[in-house]
Structure 1
């Protein structure tokens, strides 16, 4: 009987696990939030991931449960563990991806380099943090934010007043996360895979380019990167994977500062946008690697297949014309481009696909990827 992996969440990350699962002889089952989602090809159930009974019923006939996102509540994760289900990554690790305050505190315990940060429960505390950090800070809601959501740059405590009001109305107390506004030179991402038996593999550190808080491009490996910085990024990623006992893929978003420091920005415990280049650009893609890791199979080689790979996100998507015609035109003009779409309806700023190109000349690779992606915009 084939090994069976259950994925909670029917988004594009689950969709992109389907092909490597087929190649590895793994049976992939998906619990989608609603019909017609990106991973509909493998959706064996539709239901609410916040309902313990629904998730337990889905998990009954699989060997391991993993995730397309980190939003499954801790009480549901605990119910799975109590029922004897293998949950990877487990709830003790996932809570650090679910709550940014807990993440910051735990990374401090691990000695990881971070921006200055503090929990703030009211405007007075936020103003004190601003006064200590040249009058500027990044304020984040600890839970639920991604792709620029739940994040604000503020220069006065009143700019977060509505969030403090929401905290007060919630009735459970709590705090916002205030962080130093880092003067960074560029953003990087370090991906690491870890399996339960302890084997760890690190991918090359990559450069990410953001657009409106959403990842627009990834260049792998990060250009103009000294060996020392590469080693530091890998050390940080491996240290976090081991320190938090993560199973599966881990993405560590990083800031590189003008004085060549590397600071941890965010964590994701799943395949990640910064690793989409690995589908064609690495010996083992992040999606195959995640499946190997959660099943405790030997990890694959993360080495690049070419000198350079560039991933360009398709944001928003076409609002008119035939998608088939655009595919044909893009493939005709840029035959080296690998085009991936997610089966999503277009919406401004929404990730609806991406393009990968690999090769030996970075300028040409970047041009081909950007040009192919441009066929899918309006």
Structure 2
């Protein structure tokens, strides 16, 4: 069990990197079993991903491998599926140009706390040694690329200079490198008293979150601009919002506010934790507006924007019986726990964390009818090409 953190102790960037991960393993609340919505959202955007891949320069030389990277890969099958789509699409481009394909390499990258073991167990096997690339690509239930895991924060350098053809990142960039320090500082005007998320907070708190997001995104772009090969492209998807008001976080606000917030308040009212303990916990997530995102990309200047839009993703809850309020409530609790449970465990301990998510489930069940309609996610979708200097 991870130790509970002290009251009003800000989680530093390095501490968050050691803790933050989607819930590993294959249990009921694991990311593996609660990422079906992400899979459906990703599938609905495949045409946009392929448009991005069509802009990548392909080389006639076979001396160097074609390299793709999934940043914020987590530990489920979704990352493997998207890498497979990318490599097969690039292979078709080589065939269409009458060029012999190179070897392919795929890097799966996430924070060191990520459950890479579960991810690697899901990887299809490579064909036997000596099989040609053409035979490898044609083999069913086998992968056509060399795979490796790369632990580390994507807000810093991860790869050698000019080594990557394509970067892909989906449903990750809304996770901040840290909770803004002012948000958990009692003497600060940005102190997020009584809340565990930005949704519904005051304007100064929202500005602190926005500044952190834009600082992080700028660091992300700087790192990729060094690592990407000339002629490379990048496809990015993160939670977004349609409101100009950053305190209205849309679907993210309903996931990490409302019932999740009420569950924390329950623990305080029942004397299980102090109000200070609650107030020193904040979810390090920011759903940007299109303008928030655009300002950073244009300010960096390393990437040309081909597409930057808000995409309606739909509900993050996948249930067999939409009219079954109990099933909806459990789905919300498991979804919330799969992405934030590790941080909650670290802050209040696993026993209280279990109690908290039981309360999330109970409250969500009481509002099951409305949840599926109200809980809708929007995403920022960005298709970018590296600008050669």
- Give TM-score scaled by structure 1 length: 0.32
- Structure with bigger strand share is 1
Q: Which structure is higher in RCO with an 8 Å CA cutoff and minimum separation 6?
A: 2
